[in-house]
Amino acid sequence: MSKITAEALAALDPEVRTQVENDIALGQRARNLLDKLWSDPKEGLAFKRKAKAIMPELRIPDIEAIDSVAPVIEAQIGEVQTGLNKLIERLDKQDTTAKEARETADFEAACAAARKEYQLTDDGWNKVIERMKATNNPDPAAAAAWVTDHMPRQKPVGGSGFGPQKLNLFGAGKIDEDWKDLHTDPNAWFDKTVAGILDEFNQAA
């Protein structure tokens, strides 16, 4: 408060002077509040925009500077976001491709192991594939087990008569004469056995 203001107030009626002093104090508090809001690091920008909206003629350098560069910044942010979206999409595809490759490799390894374990022919393996498709279950081991369990049993193949059908190494019971000859006279046993085999071929012819 300047000296002139103080002198002017002193000349006023006491009641009027009191009212003027109160108004001056109120105005000072309002100015202090305005200054704090204007410079507040969190609310200052919003307050300035509100003031600009109420009084468009106000020149607020902060708002003008921000508004001038905002479109450029927004465009740059948009480009960055687009790049990030493409990168994320590409990484997702790579993850999907890698996952499919691992699953394919695991499935091929399981197929190879099942085919080896169950000693399947091409025809048997085709039946395994058909079984997996029919059950919609990509489990080669389970399908191979089912196929081998349901395959027709092969009948025992009759021998040529080469060698004894019953082994009895001089134990209890009747001694197999052919087996005895093998130990007592190998040369005679060989001649006798070969002659028998040739005789079987001759009879078959």
Q: How far apart are CA 65 and CA 73, in angstroms?
A: 12
Interval 133-150 mean pLDDT: 92
Interval 26-36 mean pLDDT: 90
Q: How far apart are CA 62 and CA 53, in angstroms?
A: 14
> What is residue 17's predicted lDDT score, i.e. its pLDDT?
74
> What is residue 199's predicted lDDT score, i.e. its pLDDT?
58
pLDDT at 190 over 80: no
Residue 174 contacts by C-beta under 8 Å, 6 or more apart in sequence? 168
Please spell the DSSP secondary structure of 128-169, one letter per residue.
HHHHHHHHT---HHHHHHHHHHHSPPPPPPPP-S-S-SS--S
Return the structure tokens found at 72: 């450029």
Q: Could you read off the pLDDT of 80-106 as tens digits, one per residue?
A: 999 999 999 999 999 999 999 999 999
Q: How far apart are CA 195 and CA 193, in angstroms?
A: 5
Q: How far apart are CA 48 and CA 60, in angstroms?
A: 7
Between 57 and 179, the higher pLDDT residue: 57
Q: What is the pTM of this model?
A: 0.41
Residue 84 contacts by C-beta under 8 Å, 6 or more apart in sequence? none
Return the structure tokens found at 46: 């919003």
pLDDT at 141 over 60: yes
Task: Estimate the share of the chain in helix, then strand, then coil, as percent rounded to the nearest 5.
Answer: 75, 0, 25
- Report the phi/psi class of residue 154: left, alpha or beta, with left for phi > 0 and alpha for psi in -120 to 50: beta
